[in-house]
A and B are shown apart, each in its own frame.
Chain A
Amino acid sequence: MIGDAVERSLRSPQVLISVDELFSNAAGSRMPDVRPDLLTDEVARRVVAACPTSALKIDEDAGRTHLILDYGECTGCGRCIAAGGGAFRYAQKVTRCGVSKQALIRSWDIQGRAEVVQDEPALSQAAEQIRALVGRALNIRQVDAGSCNGCEAEIVALTNPYYDLERFGIHFVASPKHADMLLVTGPITRNMAAALKNAYDAVPSPKLVVAVGACGCSGGIFGRSHAVIGPVDAIIPVDGYIPGCPPTPRMLLTGILQVLRPFSLRW
């Protein structure tokens, strides 16, 4: 009977994750982090050689050597952590969610053994307008433009009782005409390019676009395919990027809120 299922559900444990534990928490994301105190030239060259994508690079500029980590290209394979001899570890916090493409990239001065600090970029005009209009009551239209469905599985998880996206006033809507934000996944395939462009045009202004996942941010491992056009910003303008393969629900929530910047996450 319907009542039996409802009664059982009412007796189930309260599992909602508190706001403090939610934001930036990197559990299960497989994203790497660097311990600059253990970073040496030799370690940097080893991890760059181990990286199967181009997420890790070495940049030599005016006698200084920098290690560059682009989260937008990172699939979390863990090879840098295996090769990094302690200088690389799984991240405890991920703050690079819902940020600009430039801010997905971190760099470390290897000789100085310190991270090169960047300025926090300004909020986009559309984000300010939407915040002024609706506070955080945000309507999101999700568009899969070629994803493997990994990102979708985690986006769906946002609605489960642990994360409960609606507590923030955020809803997923069925039509782009009802949306403030497009949450776009996937490398953009040739066959989805027109549909994505149509969906974008159907969203009333001001509008925001967030690119999700390594494929959405950079094209990921599919970027070089003949059937793929590239990342989301190859087709439509993007306001914020959420990396990860796939990003965890915590990263997604952090990123969606970060685009509107209702609070300041430590950079």
Chain B
Amino acid sequence: MTVTLPNSEAGRAQALDLLGAANTRLVSIFGSTDDNHVRYVHYLIDVNGREYRMFSSPVTGPIPSATPIVPAAAWYERELQDQYGIECEGHPDPRSLLFHENWPEDIHPMIDDVSQVPWAKGQYHFLRVHGDGVCEVPVGPIHAGIIEPGHFRFSVVGDTVLHLELRHFYTHKGTEKLFENTAVMDGVMIAESVSGDNCFSHAVAYCQAIENALAIPVPPRAQAIRLIGLELERMMAHIADVGALCGDVGFTVPAAYTARIKETLLQTSSRFFGTRYWRGIAVPGGVTRDLPSAETAELGRMVAAAVRDFAQMARLILHTSSVQSRFESTGILTAEIARQLAVVGPAARASGISLDVRRDHPTGRYRDINVDVPQYTHGDVLARARIRIDETAISTHLVNETLKELPAGSVLVPVPLSGNVEGLSAVESPRGELLYWVRIRDGKITRCHIKSPSFQNWPALPLAIPGNIIADFPLINKSFNLSYSGCDR
């Protein structure tokens, strides 16, 4: 449920008050403009873990920063400054976030003309750690494997990391701006290309936001097919992650084994839905492909067999002493830090924070079912691996229950193209809470904000690293498995 208070200066003050309370979690902070080029700031807050509340205020000059109250606001406010030129007074780190040295400081793409942006030569200052024997290790943006780009700056003494600073947004593509003036039916293609391995979660979150804004009744059968896609996407991501964690400790046999299982699920998706990663399936109004009733049993059987195979291998992995010694007590994210940074998804649940959009803010088919939410308290690599193993089993159960009772009827309804409306929707993507907020006018997007779980969680990674040896960094990083493109957008 969403409550949007009337636009006023008071909205911002109320939001900051609420953010100081114990029962709230910052979901997002973002900007927008109205027809008169007045800038607005929007605070999206989860109250009691059950209700999204949005507070909006017009902005005329600098605004007080929320970061001293909630550290989780830090990146959102830096983004606000980059996109809209809104200065947040009292922000501890006002450096540019989205743009690098090549971008002119005074151009803000959401309010300025960006048809011709000159190349600038700025400077970027990393935090310097001083002391005897302190060395800096720069890594990236191009990494050794087949991975997305980003920069990590380690300050180490010997093998031990004292400090890690992230520098991301190498894959920043101005995606939120790209949505502007896009037809609502075309916007889903952009959403699918925000984070390519979670593309169905992005597509569904986008479609649901449009459907909520336009009050479109999505057919139950389409909602069920979306659930199957979302859960399959989660299984594939989690299975691949557990395998990659094994690969990062040199245990290559299960890494290859789980890669095979993931591929069988991709081929299963391709066989039944014509797409390996569920692209082109979700559209505003429903889904583009139905599942013939004669095929439901076979799909369920194939998914169950693949996941049973994975579960048995996962048990062997967790019983391997060399895996235990590398996973256990490595890269601990404490519950306290996770809460301050409003961490979401598997990383939150591994650090003792019980959050899951499917249970807390259910949409579509999830309104009618119960979702078990596993939780561990150690916050280490092992806990994050266990969360993924447990959730894979839960997802299989959800898919099979849904396939057994697939509602009858159509899978797509038409979308009206009139109206000046707003809507939001969240889904639990494999990486955690993913939320789209859209504003539509006569069938075109005028503003689309993406709250990405990776944008939220990346700042927590450097706080799980100090005290660990640098050789464990790839393992710890993989255990968070955050999206670079999803964060950078």
Contact = CB atoms under 8 A, between A and B. Distances in A.
A226 B195 contact: no
A6 interface: yes
A194 B114 CA distance: 20
Contact of B146 (A90, A142, A190, A193): A142
Chain A interface residue bracket vs B: 35 or more
B468 interface: no
A216 to B, nearest CB: 13
Interface in A139-165: 142-157, 159-162
Interface in B468-489: 483-486
B280 A5 contact: no
B103 A159 contact: no
Contact of A221 (B193, B269, B277, B322): B193
B194 A76 contact: no
B256 A5 contact: no
A27 B256 contact: no
Interface of A: 1-2, 4-6, 8-9, 12, 15, 27-28, 30, 52, 75-78, 82, 90, 142-157, 159-162, 172, 174-175, 186-187, 189-195, 199, 215, 220-222, 224-228, 245-246, 248
B277 A153 contact: yes
Given A4-B319, A8-B312, A192-B171, A149 B197 contact: yes
A191 B193 contact: no
Contacts of A192: 141, 149, 170-171
Given A143-B142, A144-B148, A160 B260 contact: yes
15 contacts: A5-B254, A9-B313, A15-B263, A28-B270, A28-B274, A30-B275, A76-B280, A146-B173, A147-B171, A150-B193, A189-B171, A195-B142, A195-B149, A228-B173, A248-B276
Nearest to A192: B170
Contact of A147 (B141, B148, B262, B319): B148
B272 to A, nearest CB: 11
Contact of A152 (B115, B146, B175): B146
Given A153-B196, A190-B103, A226 B117 contact: yes
Chain B interface residue bracket vs A: 35 or more
Given A153-B277, A191-B141, 20 more contacts: A2-B320, A5-B313, A9-B313, A28-B266, A28-B269, A52-B189, A144-B147, A147-B196, A148-B171, A149-B483, A150-B199, A160-B262, A161-B259, A161-B260, A162-B267, A174-B145, A175-B144, A190-B102, A226-B115, A227-B173
B177 to A, nearest CB: 7
A160 B197 contact: no
Contacts of B254: 5, 9
Given A78-B288, A160-B263, A221-B193, A226 B174 contact: yes
A202 to B, nearest CB: 10
B107 to A, nearest CB: 9
A144 B280 contact: no
A220 B312 CA distance: 41
A186 to B, nearest CB: 7
A9 B256 contact: yes
Contacts of A246: 196, 277
B194 to A, nearest CB: 6
Most B C-beta atoms less than 10 A away, residue of A12, A146, A149: A149
B396 to A, nearest CB: 19
B171 A195 contact: no
Most A C-beta atoms less than 10 A away, residue of B193, B256, B269, B279: B193
B114 A186 contact: no
B190 interface: yes
Given A90-B274, A144-B148, A186-B171, A222 B485 contact: no
Contacts of B144: 174-175
A30 B280 contact: yes
Contacts of A186: 171
A157 B266 contact: yes
Interface in B143-192: 144-149, 169-175, 177-178, 186, 189-190
